[in-house]
Each structure stands twice: as structure tokens, then as C-alpha cells.
Amino acid sequence: MIVFDRVSFSYGIQEVLRDLSFSIPFNQRVAILGGSGDGKTTLLKLIVGLLKPDSGRIVIDGKDITDKREDELREARTKFSIVFQEGALFDSLNVKENVAFGLREYSRMTEEQIDKKVRELLGEVGLEHAIELMPEELSGGMLRRVSIMRSLAAFVPKMFLYDEATTGLDPMNADIICKLILDLTKDGKGFIIVTHKVFDALRLAERFMFLKDGSILFDGNRDQLMQSPIREIQVFLKELTPPL
């Protein structure tokens, strides 16, 4: 369970999140919607302790991480597989070395075991053939798949966190990523996906939160979202109606 208790956060004098309170079970599929600059990615960074709130408490799996030091956050972070849009892969490492990075850092596996594990993970997403390629040689969809597999390599997470997982991808690659996200939840794990793409959110999630000016404007299920009279949500839902 993730719990935010009256959490606020600012970048300098710019308030990004204001007095947020909510709870999300690890097995729930949640989409966080909102415009650019409304705090969606900041929220993910707070969950894993990459940022600390100005006020309020953040509790992960029953433990308050609000004031934890960097070296005390590892246990909380291993509960999540997180893929940030801007932080995909190490440019200087090929696909194999990117996926193997966490295994070398956090496991005692031999090089032979690491090689086998990396090939298994890449095989799951149809990318074993790309094992020696550099990130610059990959398409956008391939980059996202490798990033997701890298995040899974070292730990077995309780929940997945995705930052704009399908943004910038063509419809075919976005479809591949959506199917992968759903496949990874078949054993009952949940996810939080930050996105501004309503179509993908509706395809993936069961709960929807809408951030606006640092506050939660909406928190509900699919039917409630589709029927919401809130103007900002109606603007987002126009994406579902093709122009004449």
C-alpha cells in the first residue's frame, strides 16, 4: 500500500503538489492524468524517495519513508519497478550491459547466470536479437521494452511505475507497450502509469486520478471518469473523439 498523507512539494518557489492525500494498494491499476507541469512525474519520484516532500508523510508498505536517508531507502525502492520517460538507458552501454547493470550491482550471480537471465528477459519481449545493439540503434518502442526489462532484472517488484510509457510512440509500438504492461500484471501486480494519453489510460487502468494545479481534481473509476462534468477532464476526453 502506498499512502500519501497531506503531502506538499515545491521546486523553489513553484508549488507543484499541494496537500495530497490518497492511498493505492499494490495490486491496483492506476492511471494518473493531467497536463504538463501538474506534478505527475514528481508524484512518482516522491513514491520511491527520489524527492522528499516539503510537508506531510509518505508511507510505503506500512513504513514511513518521509525522512529516510538515501541508504535507508533501498528496501522501499525494491518494491517497485520504475521506468522514467527521460531516463531510459545508459547511452554508453549496449542492450545486454544495460539490462545486466542491476544484476551486477545487487545480485551475486555469475557472468554465465547473468547472461542467461538477460537473454531470458529480452526473449520475453522479442528483443534477444538486439542484445549487442547500442541504445542509439533502437527504435522508440524497443527502447521502452529494454527499459522495462532492465527495471525487472534485479528485483521482483510488488508494483510497476511508468512515466509516460507510450508518449512519442507510433500506434503500433504504443500497442506493444500496452500489451507488455498488461502481461506483467497477470499475476496480480498493479501499476501506476503517468500519462496524458487518455486512450491508453482507459485501455490499461481501473482507477483514474486527475491532477490539476497540484491538487487531485478527480479520483474514480472508468465510468465516473467518462461521465465527469469537470471541464478539464472533458477537454482530455476529446482525444477519444476523432475530428470530422
**Model confidence pLDDT, tens digit, residues 234-243:** 988 887 665 5
Give residue 197's pLDDT.
84
Which of the residue ranges 55-64, 130-139, 145-154 would you say has the lowest mean pLDDT? Answer: 145-154
Enter the C-alpha cell of residue 213: 494545479
Residue 25: band (very low, low, confident or very high) from pLDDT cuts 50, 70, 90? very high
Q: How many CB atoms lie within 10 A of CB 67?
A: 10
**Model confidence pLDDT, tens digit, residues 155-205:** 778 999 999 888 888 888 888 889 889 988 888 889 999 988 888 999 999
Same domain, 15 and 133: no
Residue 86: inside a domain? no
Same domain, 166 and 244: yes
Measured between its terminal Cα atoms, the distance across the chain in Å is: 44
Spatial contact of 210 and 34, defined as CB atoms under 8 Å apart: yes
Domain closes at, from 156, 178, 210: 156
Give residue 170's pLDDT.
83
Same domain, 242 and 166: yes
Domain that holds residue 69: 1-79+162-244
Beta bridge partners of 146: none
Same domain, 104 and 119: yes
Residue 88: band (very low, low, confident or very high) from pLDDT cuts 50, 70, 90? low
Give residue 65's pLDDT.
95
Same domain, 52 and 103: no
Residue 244: band (very low, low, confident or very high) from pLDDT cuts 50, 70, 90? very low
Same domain, 122 and 243: no
Write the CA distances from 154 to 61, 96, 190, integer angstroms: 20, 14, 18
Give residue 172's pLDDT.
85
Contacts of 169 (CB under 8 A, 6+ apart): 140, 141, 144, 177
Give residue 242's pLDDT.
53
Same domain, 186 and 240: yes
**Model confidence pLDDT, tens digit, residues 124-143:** 888 889 999 998 898 888 88
Q: Which residue type occupies 217?
A: L
Task: Report the percent of the chain where pLDDT is more than 70.
Answer: 96
Name the domain count of the chain: 2
Mean pLDDT rounded to a whole number for the chain: 88
Same domain, 46 and 117: no
Burial class (CB in 10 A: 0-12, 13-18, 19+), 174: buried
